[in-house]
Structure 1
């Protein structure tokens, strides 16, 4: 390891993130307009330690537990959701390390601040060759790829051009890790929300990937620590982003309500009964969603710390808490924009961007309504349905 700062623990990283709040906010327009994070901000985030949060303690990393990771994403998302999204994605290097043999992972990620971006869905093709794979693929949603030290891409495994099938008849697939210099990043990220994430398409053509630089997220991890014992922790910190965004929206709505007069009452909006009811509902909705996430993740963490596996009910509750956080945040943002009224339409008001960012976040599979069904099937005893939690 050659970390830029080997002494950062979880609390120091959280404090560093809070200290960056003003700087991140000041860069918000630039982040949106350039559709990426400024390089200087990325370096500041590196120094703060936010990309190393999942790195093993055995390497000198903080190995942040899920609740600490969620708190970090909330802090960053209050300042700027695109920044939080990039950090969430790029900090997955430590999680990936848990699925690789330790000597391989240490060599592949020589710095605690190594940053992985990419899509896990197996839309690429990996032809088996001696020592590894020949990989060709075109992936979408490469969030943070412009700032990554490594890229990933899910691939179907082929032998002599034919898919390799599992016993259940489904294609066998693995995630490949390769360097950005082996890929072409395409300028495709023109979107409604999360514009600053630079979630461009990327592609590779006939790139060799050593077998040891690939993994299956469905296999048992190589590391034994609790953070790597459950594949669903790959998405553990994601709910912090909509929760932080919703907090920012509600704070801005309160500011508007305290400074804007209603018409024809000519009284501050805070005196309006409907505004009061909407504000109360929004606060309760956000608090409930946050409590559910903390309860589900906290229970799972305690179980794994004891060395026990998660049962179906615990996994289902994690899935439910993920989608519920996103859907609840969307409701909070709607209420916040309703409180602000026409003020929320103007680009100069933070609510305008927050509303668009929330639309983008709610499109992610973690927060789509159909995820309720996948979690419910587990609650009803179905252990065969593939899920990401």
Structure 2
């Protein structure tokens, strides 16, 4: 087991971390850009500049590469604040973080190419298996394919995609049984498919399909696609951040988006309730005992899910920091805690949407915006209910399958 020599303890006060404070302070600016983000289906270039300056795109990179080497609770809190401002911003930064971790599993010369000194690298694309096919050529592969969910493609420098290698027309199988590899493609050399992201929520993520045809991909920008969706292939980097199992990142990253959105939904109803007098009533919405009950329940439900998620992540961190191996049960609880927190966020948002009256379904209302975005996040495979029986099998001493190791 690798020896951890730095960053052994989580911050006592996550909200006091400078990058978290920067994310909280950016929320009014995010609201200023929201209409443009949704209309243009991309983050504003001016906003992206501010996010680079704040370090949001370098959250999970090692300090040796100019990154912040953030712990997962700091990362999650940043994502929550950004998603509370605009859901699409939180989503893209969350996915960039996991994409950054994946690229740290590349050969050293590939890492140096993607993260040169003074870089402003943003990673887009997907960790999901499939989408491309390749044939071996000297020095690398010739790849063709079409991938979905290219979140952040408009602000990205590099795109992440998965592919199979064909030998005489048949997929190559590794000794570990795996049949997929990952590649990192220059954004300037891929084609983004217009009109492929027509959706009801998270429009601003720009999660368009993208394609390459007969593209030469050098070996240095490829790595095996281990795990479903992925295993830790970056543990050789020093620090607890990189020793953590993938369950501390994948699932929690998109869970942070949905819990941030749920907080925005609660705030939106609280603001509405103080201003709105429903038709045919004499008192404001906030004077209604049912609304009071709903706000109280929503806050408790949301925070209960968040606290459990954060506690399970902290348990994994502290186990490794103490020089011990994590157990399958710990990893399962961390994974399920993210799913459960996502479910709590949906419950909280449903309460707010229901008690907003007709304001909840008006396109221009904040409640409607948050509800649309939250429903899209909630459909992510990382937050799907299928994770509960997977975790349950682990607790029962049964094989949980390849999605939980």
Q: TM-score, normalised by structure 2?
A: 0.88
Equivalent of 1:43 in 49, 53, 58: 49
Q: Which runs of 5+ in 1 are unaligned?
A: 1-9
Partner of 1:232: 247
8 Å contact from structure 1 (residues 279, 339) kept in 2: no
Task: Say whether residues 1:155 and 2:163 are aligned partners.
Answer: yes
Q: Deviations over 1:62-87 (max 9, x none)?
A: 10000000000111011101111111
The alpha carbon displacement at 1:353 in A equals 0.8
2:395 maps to 379
- Structure 1 residues 263, 185: CA separation in 2 closer, same or farther (over 3 Å shift)? closer
Which sits farther off after the overlay, 300-309 or 139-148? 300-309
8 Å CA contact 2:109, 2:220 repeated in 1: no
Bigger shift: 203-212 or 370-379? Answer: 370-379
* Residues 1:178 and 1:57: Cα distance change in structure 2 (over 3 Å): same
2:92 is aligned with 1:86: yes
Task: Tell me the residue number matched to 1:176.
Answer: 183
CA 1:94–1:167 in structure 2 vs 1: closer, same or farther (change >3 Å)?
closer
Find the aligned partners of 1:232 and 1:99 in 2 and give their Cα distance.
16
Aligned residue in 1 for 2:58: 52
* Cα 1:384–1:253 shift into 2, 3 Å: closer
1:263–1:375: structure 2 CA closer, same or farther, 3 Å change rule?
Answer: same
- The match for 1:143 is 151
Give yes or no for the alignment of 1:255 onto 2:277: no
Aligned length: 379
Q: Give the secondary-structure state (helix, strand or coil) at the position aligned to 1:20.
A: helix
Check conservation: 1:227, 1:233, Cα contact below 8 A. Answer: no
Deviation at 1:375? 2.4
For each residue in 1:218-267, what CA deviation from the matched residue of structure 2 results, as whole angstroms up to 9, or x when unmatched? Answer: 26433243222223344243221111100010011111222222465522
Given that 2:110 and 2:220 are in contact with CA atoms closer than 8 Å, whether structure 1 keeps it comes out as yes
Could you say what secondary structure the match of 2:130 adopts?
A: strand
Residue of structure 1 in register with 2:335 after alignment: 319
Asked whether the equivalents of residues 54 and 93 of structure 1 are also in contact (C-alpha less than 8 Å), the reply is no
3-state secondary structure, aligned to 1:19? helix
> Which residue, 112, 128, 132 being the options, matches 2:140?
132
Contact 2:107 2:221 in 1 (8 A): no
**TM-score for the superposition, normalised by structure 1:** 0.91
Following the alignment from structure 2 to structure 1, what is the Cα–Cα distance between the partners of residues 114 and 145?
21
What is the correspondence of 1:341-356 to structure 2 with a 5 Å cutoff?
341-356=357-372
Q: Which residue of 2 aligns with 1:205?
A: 213
**In the alignment, which residue of structure 2 is the partner of 1:7?**
none
Do 2:202 and 2:376's aligned partners in 1 also have CA atoms closer than 8 Å? yes
The residue that corresponds to 1:6 in the other structure is none
Of 338, 349, 374, the match for 1:333: 349
1:269 CA displacement: 2.3
In the alignment, which residue of structure 1 is the partner of 2:288? 272
Alignment correspondent of 1:114? 121
Consecutive unaligned residues of structure 2, counting only runs of 5 or more, are 1-15
Query: 1 CA distance for matches of 2:267 and 2:310?
Result: 21
* Residue 388 of structure 1, CA deviation: 6.4
Q: Provide the C-alpha distance between the structure 1 equivalents of 2:314 and 2:372, rounded to a whole number of angstroms.
A: 31
Instruction: Give the distance between the partners of 2:64 and 2:138, measured in 1 at CA.
Output: 32
Verify the 8 A CA contact 1:319 1:372 in the aligned structure 2: no
TM-align CA RMSD: 2.0
Counterpart-to-counterpart distance in 1, 2:192 and 2:326: 38
Q: Shift of the alpha carbon at 1:89?
A: 1.6
